[in-house]
Structures are given as C-alpha cells and as structure tokens.
Amino acid sequence: MLMRIGGKDMEGIDERRIEVKNPATGELVDRVPAGAKEDVSCAVDAAEAAYGAWAKKFMRERGMILFHAAQKVRDQHKDLARLLTMEQGKPIHESIDEVRGFASILEFYAGISAHSSGEAIRLGPAGDCMVVREPLGVCGAIIPWNMPVLIMGWKVGPALLAGNTLVLKPASTTPLTTLKLAGILDSSGLLPGVLNVVTGSGESVGAAIVRHPLIRKVSFTGDCITGSKIREMASAHMKDLTLELGGSDPMIVMNDADIDRAVEGALRGRFYNAGQTCTAVKRLYVHEKIADAVIRKLQVRIEAFRTGNGLEPGIDLGPMNSAGQRERISQVVKETRDNHEGTILTGGSLLEGGAYDAGHFYAPTLVTGISPGARLVTREIFGPVLPVMTVPDLDTAIREANTTRFGLGASVWTKDLATTKRVFDEVKAGIIWVNRHLTVPPEIPFGGMNESGIGRENGQHALDSYSRTKTLFLGW
Ligand code: NAD
C-alpha cells in the first residue's frame, strides 16, 4: 500500500519500503513506503491548503461526512478486521470490536456536531462579549501499534469535526488498516488534504511531524519516554499537546465482591489484546479472605485459554505484535523467576513448536507471591502476564495501588458504596471503574495523571482540545 497525501495514494520520495509481517505466521502482508521528512512537508502543505475550506464548512456538514464514513466502515468491517488481525495479531473478534469501535467514535462526533458551543457574556455598561471556538489549523497525530484503529478514531473524529486538518503517522508494524480507513474517509466526502497518512519510522516521520512549524497541535499515544521527547521537541513552537502514555492499572477486589464477575473482569482486563493495552489490569490486588478462591479460578481459566493465529476460530489470545515486545516480556518474567521475586503458577515461557515457531507467541502467565519492589509490578508490563497480590484491607490496597509513577486507570470490585467512594477519592488515576475495567466508550473523557500523560481524548473534552476560544468584545 502507499501513503495517502492530498486525497491520493503517494509513493514517497524514498524508494525504501517497510515490510509488514503477520506476527502469527511471519508471512509478508504488504509493504509501505519508508517516509521521510520531505513526505511530511508535502503532507503538511496538502493539509494547509485544505484547511481554509474545511474550517469554513458547517460543523454539521463535517459531522455528516464522518457519519457516512462510519456507515462504510460498518459495511466493510469484516475485511477491515481481517486486515487488522493480519498486521497486529489480535483475535478476529477483538479486531471486529475495534473496527466497530472506530465507527462508533465517528458516529458519536457526528452526533454532537449539531451542538457547536459558544457563549455570550453581558458586561453591563462596558458592553457585551461573544466567545466562539475555532479550530487550531493543521494538527499531527502519532499512533501506536497496540490499538491502531481505535486510537486513530480517538484522534481523527474530534480533530476533523472541530475543523482542523491532519497529518497522521501509524506505527511501522500496523499501517495497513489505517491507510484503508483513510481511503474510506476520503471517499466519504473529505476535501483532498484534510486527512493525510505518512508511513515510516518514529525517528524520521514522527519527529518531522512534531518539529514542523505549521503543525499547531500534536496528539501522541505511545511510550512515556517517546512522550517526553515529543514534549521537548514540541516546545520549540509552543504547540498544543495531548500525550496518552503508559499505565500500570491496579484492580482491587474486596471480600464482598462477586468473585466470578471479578475473575472474568481480571481475565478480560489483562489478557485482551494479549495484554498489550494501555489500561490493561497490570496489578491485581485481592482481599486475603477470597484470594485463594480467586487465584484458583484464574488459573483454571488461564490454562484453558487457546493461544494461536487470530484468524482461526475460537482463539482467545493472539501472538504479541513483535519479537521485541515478546523479548521484553520474557526478560521480566525470567528476572522474576531467577531473583525469586514471585511464583509462576502457570505460563512463564515462550510458546514454541509446530505452528507457534513462526510467530511471537507467549504463554498466558499467572504470578503470585510477588516481592515488594519487583520489576513485574513497578514497570508497565505490556503482555499476557497477570501478577496477583494479596492484601489484608482496603487501606493497604489503596496504598499499594498508588505506588506507581503512572495514573491512567484503576478499578475496584465491591458492592459497598463507602469502599467505592474511598477508591474514587484516593486512588490516583484518570478513570476509576467500579465492577468493570478497560471499557472506554467514545462519550467519556479518557487520559491519565502523572506520567500517564497530559490531556484527554474522547467526548466533548477531546473536541474542545482541538479548538481554542476567541472572544469578540462589543463596546457599543
Ligand atoms: P512508541 O512510543 O514506541 O511508539 C508510538 C508511536 O510513536 C509510533 O508510531 C512510533 O513510530 C512513534 N515514535 C517513536 N519514536 C518517535 C519519535 N522520536 N518522535 C515521534 N514519534 C515517534 O510506543 P509503542 O511501543 O508503539 O506503544 C506502546 C506504549 O503506548 C505503551 O507504553 C502503552 O501503554 C502506550 N499506550 C498508551 C495509550 C493511552 O491512551 N494512554 C494507548 C495505547 C498505548
């Protein structure tokens, strides 16, 4: 596939290509251009040229284009989901969820397009003021490989509805579904140049987007270290930033919780997308009175998981997205074992032999008896490894939950309102779920505290973040 610039497929100035391989089989899925700084300039020029006419349209008209695109995505969801599984690895039912989620995001923004906001302020004898919101201009979006379609929706929906134009870079291992979706959006009525996708590495294309003087805002989702570099680069031109970074979400299960529901929540929370989700359950704290029962149930269910090629029916876990990701997980588990920092109840190894040999498979893993300060719970573990800690009371659970530099999400599983209130008030995270984890519908703001990032995606909050206020003061 080629890049999309100015509403057309483009080769890029460099002849080099990036190979996109299926992480389950190692087979070549497609090639995309290895973009360069010059391709970013070309995309920014196209976005700048399209901006005036796009920003002048009725917001409702922009919303209708998003709505038409959403309908096309729904019509083509099976093909899009298949492509997503082939480049990313996740089971096909998860890809279907993600593609439909993308359509829902566009529909949500189409739905609020009839309510463009503003205010009038009366100042008595001094006059009257009118405050309107206007778009920022050309924006940049940089996307990771773990949820490439959903995260593309989180950025494209509000940015375009607000009247901005966009230059977007997908991750090198997952550019294909993004390019297809950009084509669908173009064919739904976007003016050429409103949405441009430049493929290539973070160091060349990503950095060129962040550094380009005409780009007014950058929305980035990815690793904390990359986020810090982006913040530094973006400061040169005082760009607006949304940074959605890592997380180490705690899940607290109290002794009054519905145990079966909590077990299912922990399994989905940790093993969805082979554990490669920013708001995955990365630390499970269980009250000591129910810990044995919870751990036993978790182990039985994890040992029954089917890991394999996500295109096959009945698969619970696909491969990890890349050899590097699998190696990182493997190292942390090895360290836990070698340093006697935890007991591996099940899993804890690469999956090898037969069809597994061609892919980046890792066994779903359950670890208990974790020592304080073990890397398994102090770092973000981006893979199918669930560490379970036993706690004597809520005070300990809250204290442990807060022992992290992150603050993305957290959940508490309880029937008690007072417990809920304490967790909501005291755990440091951008979202607190009760008897649920992981779900982020388009209506609710999403983003972290502390080193999990800056700003919010989704909902009205994201729309506001892609615009700024401008005030007219009428002195009469
Ligand atoms: P990453 O930071 O390595 O890459 C993310 C994107 O940034 C890719 O497109 C990459 O090419 C680009 N990039 C890399 N270096 C760059 C640079 N110097 N300048 C500009 N762009 C650059 O992250 P990843 O490994 O792809 O993603 C995993 C991380 O993302 C995890 O930490 C996860 O928690 C986080 N994540 C966060 C959220 C959230 O919403 N908070 C969602 C998903 C993933």
User: Which atom of ligand 1 lies closest to the CA of 325?
Assistant: 25
Report, as an integer, the average pLDDT of 142-164. Answer: 98
| Domain shared by 380 and 236, yes or no | no
Task: Kindly report the CATH number assigned to the domain that includes residue 316.
Answer: 3.40.309.10
Mean pLDDT of 225-244: 96
- Co-location of 352 and 467 in the same domain: no
Give tens-digit pLDDT for 390-402.
Answer: 999 999 999 999 9
Instruction: State whether 213 and 319 are in the same domain.
Output: no
Structural domain range at position 372: 249-434
* CA nearest ligand 1 atom 30, residue: 222
**Alpha helices by DSSP H, 162-252:** 176-187, 207-211, 224-235
Residue 440 within any structural domain of the chain: no
Q: For residue 308, how far is its CA from the centre of ligand 1 (angstroms)?
A: 25
Q: In the chain, what percentage of residues exceed pLDDT 90?
A: 98
| 170's tokens | 């997908």
- Mutating to test ligand 1, I would choose from 18, 32, 40, 142 the residue with most ligand atoms within 8 A of its C-beta, which is 142
Instruction: Please give the helix or strand (H or E) that residue 95 lies within, else none.
Output: helix 92-111
Q: Are residues 177 and 277 in the same domain?
A: no
Mean pLDDT across the stretch 413-433? 98
Is residue 124 exposed (0-12), middle (13-18) or buried (19+ Cβ within 10 Å)?
exposed
In a domain, 215, yes or no: yes
- Are 164 and 306 within one domain? no
Q: What's the average model confidence in pLDDT over 38-46?
A: 98
Reported confidence tier of residue 291, pLDDT bands at 50, 70, 90:
very high
- Nearest ligand 1 atom to the CA of 209 is 20
Give the rounded percent of residues in the chain with a pLDDT score beyond 70.
100
pLDDT digits (tens, 9 = 90+) for 446-476: 999 999 999 999 999 999 999 999 999 999 9
* CA of residue 261 to ligand 1 center, whole Å: 32
Mean pLDDT for 327-340 is 97
| Banded pLDDT at 155 (limits 50, 70, 90) | very high
32 close to 10: Cβ distance less than 8 angstroms? no
* Mean pLDDT within 137-163: 98
In a domain, 441, yes or no: no
Question: d(Cα 106, Cα 89) in Å, to the nearest integer?
Answer: 24
CB atoms within 10 A of CB 436: 13
444 domain residue, yes or no:
no
Are both 456 and 321 inside the same structural domain?
no
Structure confidence by residue, pLDDT tens digits, 84-111: 999 999 999 999 999 999 999 999 999 9
One domain, residues 362 and 261:
yes
Are 87 and 1 within 8 A, CB to CB? no
291 with 235, same domain: the answer is no
CB 220 within 8 A of CB 243: yes
Residue identifier of the C-alpha nearest atom 34 of ligand 1? 246
Q: Are residues 235 and 269 in the same domain?
A: no
Give the total number of structural domains in the chain: 2
Q: What is the pLDDT of residue 472?
A: 97
Pocket-forming residues, ligand 1, beta carbon under 6 Å = 142-147, 151, 169, 171-172, 201-203, 206-207, 210, 221-223, 226, 229-230, 244-247, 278, 380, 382, 408, 448, 453
Residues 193 and 260 in one domain: no
CATH number at residue 124: 3.40.605.10
SS3 of 23-85: CCCCCEEEEEECCCHHHHHHHHHHHHHHHHHHHHCCHHHHHHHHHHHHHHHHHCHHHHHHHHH
| Catalytically active residues, by annotation | 155, 244, 278, 457
Q: Are residues 193 and 315 in the same domain?
A: no
